[in-house]
Structure 1
Amino acid sequence: MKPNGIPPALLEKYLSGACTEAEKEIVEAWYASLQGEPRYLDHLPDAEQNEIRQEAFGNIRRELNFGEEEPVQTSLWRALPWRLVTGIAASVAIVLGVYLAVNLRTIPQPDITAKTDTKTAPLPITVFENTGMQIVRHELPDGSVVTMHPNAVIEYRAGFANNKRFVAFSGEGFFDVKKDKTRPFNIKSGDMVIRVLGTSFNVKAVKNQKKFQVDVVTGSVQVTAQGESFDKQEVILKPQQQALFELDSKRLISKTLPTQAKKEIYEPLTIVFEETPLNKVIEQLEKRFNVSISLANPGLAKCGLTANFESQTFSNILEILCTSLEVTYTISDNNITINGEPCE
């Protein structure tokens, strides 16, 4: 059977990691069919042959760093011997084969897989997992920070591949993204992709739960859901808005959050303590935040805390509190247990 033609635009989409799973299968099946068919272009319609010539020639000019120099006339391209054209196209197929061989061995998030470059080897993948029972702060290569809950995992190319900011994330974490208009920041969680320039928001994408959730604190966020079994959906979120992606129904919805008496732990708050006993500090924090706090040792209740928290999230307040009183904590969802020795 002769190999079918494939649009050059689809090849470019594949190489940029923008294909759906179905489109990826088409490209990979096409490439597999080329083996043993060195003159496969002969089987394509004239219009497709010409399109591939133009696309291949443009790619070759860019690879040779011709840049924006005087354009080569298409008549010169047409005048080239067809055997040479076939050879060039076969070379393009070889390059694609190298790309497939490299990337099919990497992690299954195409958005964070760098293109193969003949001059530069792919950057290694960084994987960071919060294996402890406390919230931890992880800084990314561009200076953005993600505050990660226990069991949260983030993956990205070291230094961000191709100068693009792509991460894969699962679990719960608060992202404070450094603003960069030239490089949008993209987060992939399953079938959900979050795209921002510079803002702060909370992502909750725990694998065993039925919904993924995005809550915006500052700036704006674009949330997209797309997969093989459902059409693309997209919402734009502003502060105090939330997106919910239902994993069973594959439905993406957005809503504005009502003003609540208690804040979520990722929302900033200003609060002052002046030699306040820890049990009173806990009362205030439980009143202001949507949390439940207990003391493993009741003798901690009388420990005094003096601190001025200005526009601080709960996790920052908790870290400072524990450092000041020389205690530790564990967290499970919004339930916190403080551990330590009584104050003298």
Structure 2
Amino acid sequence: MKPNGIPPELLEKYLSGECTDAEKELVEAWYASLQGEPRYLDHLPDAEQDELRHETFGNIRRELNLTEERPVRRLPWHWLAGIAASILVTLGIFLAGNLKTMRLPEVTVKGQKSDPPKALPVTTFENTGKQIVRHRLPDGSVVSMHPKSTIKYRTAFADNKRFVMFSGEGFFDVKKDKTRPFNIASGDMVIRVLGTSFNVKAIESQKKFQVDVVTGSVQVTAAGKAFDRQEVVLKPQQQALFELDSKKLTYKTLPPQTRKELYEPVTIVFEETPLSKVIEQLEKRFNVSIALTNPGLARCGLTANFESQAFPAILEILCTSLEVTYTISDNNITINGEPCE
């Protein structure tokens, strides 16, 4: 089922650069929803993708014969989609609505006086390992990325907005900057914050994206199947869910839980505590399962004072202290190493 069409006047505003941020998101989401081969644009540079996009919209506008003097008509989706499809076939352009083809905002730097501004390159970081990796962004914000997670961004953020594209699971600790909102795009879901900490789980194979807020507040928006704008504002201990198939965005307040999620901080102290007891405490506090590859590790002792620390930080310090390593898959952790002397 395709979303309803956008009003022609909104398309006209987009082409003339008069859209608000919210209207721009809706038009570009509609643009991404048209059927086609999703791999075609992956091979084009950003500049060519942008040129094709505006050429396509220009042809649609000319086909609709939109002018400022004509009264605006609201057109049914099936008719507008038919025109758009015929233009796309003529041009040989195929569009996709996924993270790979979403275009990052342009950020330019000036060289010498005679040099034209140059667009900053895109940084792509993927956690290909089996541990949680802390990745620092250009503004000092940090994202703790689970295995198989990917983030894309310009090497410097714009003066008025910070924007990244993210897939997988990661915990964002966003540096406060009231003049530059922080935006995260995950498929059809957009998260907007000023400065806060929250967990994003955007794994397409699971058919559901999830946002959990720990501190501050975040705004989550998404376009529904009827192309309506959906929006929720989350506070701490609240969760948003976006279902990929139904395009439905919901939220709920989470009840108090005995066991914390990996990203939620706790305070816990160990005094020469055997690793076997440490594991028992961590499994009791967090929603995790921990196994040892070598049973002799259970006798190793740990002394540490963790104050308001999340599980990844605790695990990293534990492994460093005991000179062991770990691997993680979902909430299952395996600790590897030699027994203590």
Q: Does 2:56 correspond to 1:29?
A: yes
Paired positions, count: 278
For residues 86-107 of structure 1, what are the alpha-carbon distances to aligned partners after superposition, in whole Å with 9 as ceiling and x for unaligned? xxxxxxxxxxxxxxxxxxxx95
Aligned to 1:78: none
TM-score (ref. length: structure 2): 0.74
Pick from 271, 274, 277 the counterpart of residue 274 of structure 1: 271
Aligned to 2:315: 318
Aligned to 2:340: 343
Aligned to 1:88: none
**8 Å CA contact retained: 1:20, 1:227:** no
Aligned to 1:20: 28
Q: Assess, with a 3 A threshold, how the Cα gap between structure 1 residues 124 and 191 changes in structure 2: closer, same or farther.
A: same
Q: Assess, with a 3 A threshold, how the Cα gap between structure 1 residues 220 and 146 changes in structure 2: closer, same or farther.
A: same
Aligned to 2:141: 144
User: Which amino acid letter does the alignment assign opposite residue 106 of structure 2?
Assistant: A
Q: Assess, with a 3 A threshold, how the Cα gap between structure 1 residues 325 and 230 changes in structure 2: closer, same or farther.
A: same
Aligned to 2:123: 126
Q: Does 2:101 correspond to 1:108?
A: yes
Q: Which has the higher contact order (CA 8 A, sep 6+)?
A: 2
Give distance in 2, aligned partners of 1:262 and 1:208: 26
Q: Shift in Å at residue 280 of structure 1?
A: 0.4
Q: Does 2:196 correspond to 1:203?
A: no
User: Which amino acid letter does the alignment assign opposite residue 113 of structure 1?
Assistant: P
Give distance in 2, aligned partners of 1:262 and 1:33: 54
Give distance in 2, aligned partners of 1:15 and 1:234: 16
Give distance in 1, aligned partners of 2:261 and 2:320: 22
Q: Assess, with a 3 A threshold, how the Cα gap between structure 1 residues 22 and 308 changes in structure 2: closer, same or farther.
A: closer
Q: Shift in Å at residue 44 of structure 1?
A: 7.6
Max Rg structure: 1
User: Which amino acid letter does the alignment assign opposite residue 56 of structure 2?
Assistant: A
Q: Does 2:217 correspond to 1:213?
A: no
Aligned to 1:296: 293
Q: Which runs of 5+ in 2 are unaligned?
A: 1-7, 35-52, 71-98, 110-114
Q: Secondary structure at the match of 2:172?
A: strand
Q: Secondary structure at the match of 1:299?
A: helix
For residues 155-183 of structure 1, what are the alpha-carbon distances to aligned partners after superposition, in whole Å with 9 as ceiling and x for unaligned? 00111245520000000000000011111
**8 Å CA contact retained: 1:22, 1:228:** no
**8 Å CA contact retained: 1:226, 1:232:** yes
Q: Kindly, what percent of the aligned residue pairs are identical? A: 68
Q: Shift in Å at residue 11 of structure 1?
A: 2.7
Pick from 248, 252, 257 the counterpart of residue 255 of structure 1: 252
Give distance in 2, aligned partners of 1:188 and 1:280: 41
Q: Which runs of 5+ in 1 are unaligned?
A: 38-42, 49-105
Give distance in 1, aligned partners of 2:196 and 2:13: 36
Q: Shift in Å at residue 8 of structure 1?
A: 4.8
